Amino acid sequence: MSEQASGLHSIRVKLGASEFEATGTKESVDEQYKLFLEAIKAQSAPAAVAAAAGAAGEKTPPAGSDPAASDGVPDEIINRAFSIEGDSVSLNVLPSSENRDADTILLLLWGYQKLRGMNAVGATPLAASARKSGLAIDRIDRVVAPVRQYYQTGGQRKGMRYSLNNPGRAYAGRMLRGLFQ
């Protein structure tokens, strides 16, 4: 963990296929890191069960059909909410919240993570997905500022990458479930 001149702390960790990056106060970074470690532990337990079931000759359901794997969002809602073309993810329905544009970006990040397996998305493809979803934006960083507590960034300028933190994943999952109620 390194301390920057502004009093902010940052950390970047890679454990196997999982990566974690956070910047903020020491307390917020520590809390996010603890949540990351808990998520890693939770992911490894179902994988061990699936491996044991596979060794016993039992069939395991596909990853997309497990509601827990999608933050409790049913496949029906995911299929109605998102469109996938090539490597691109877009939304078919925009949220009707106070921070609609920022919430749309969070939902797109959730979609990239769940549907494409991408934990971090570059600013350029994310902006293209937002435009394809119906937003008229030019810069992601300005749009997502109101929901800063739900995402992390890495890189600079055009190389900026965005990813949801654990509270962001939970928030996006709740928002997604509420889209069709």
Determine the pLDDT at residue 72: 76
Q: Are the C-beta atoms of 42 and 169 separated by less than 8 Å?
A: no
Q: In what order do the strands lie in the sheet with 121-122?
A: 121-122, 161-164, 151-154
Among residues 60, 88, 103, the one where a domain terminates is 60
**Is 180's pLDDT higher than 70?**
yes
**3-class state of residue 168 by DSSP:** helix
Q: Are the C-beta atoms of 60 and 50 separated by less than 8 Å?
A: yes
Q: What average pLDDT does the structure give for the chain?
A: 79
Percentage, residues of the chain above pLDDT 90: 39
pLDDT band at residue 14 using 50, 70 and 90 as cut-offs: confident
Lowest mean pLDDT among 7-16, 88-97, 126-135: 7-16
- The alpha carbon of residue 142 and the mean position of all alpha carbons in its chain are separated, in whole angstroms, by 18
pLDDT digits (tens, 9 = 90+) for 54-88: 444 433 334 444 434 556 788 888 989 999 988 89
The residues pairing with 151 across neighbouring beta strands, listed in sequence order, are 164
Number of independent structural domains in the chain: 2
Model pTM score: 0.62
pLDDT digits (tens, 9 = 90+) for 28-50: 778 787 777 777 776 655 444 44
Average pLDDT (91-112) is 93
Using CA atoms, how far residue 166 sits from 36, 87, 118, 159, 173, in Å, is 7, 23, 15, 23, 11
Of residues 113 and 46, the one with the higher pLDDT is 113
Domain boundaries, position 112: 64-181
Residues 112, 166, single domain; the answer is yes
Among residues 41, 60, 79, the one where a domain terminates is 60
Tell me the two tokens of residue 120.
């971090």
Q: Are the C-beta atoms of 50 and 61 separated by less than 8 Å?
A: no
Query: Could you tell me the CATH number of the domain that includes residue 161?
Result: 1.10.10
- 9/23 Cα distance (integer angstroms): 6
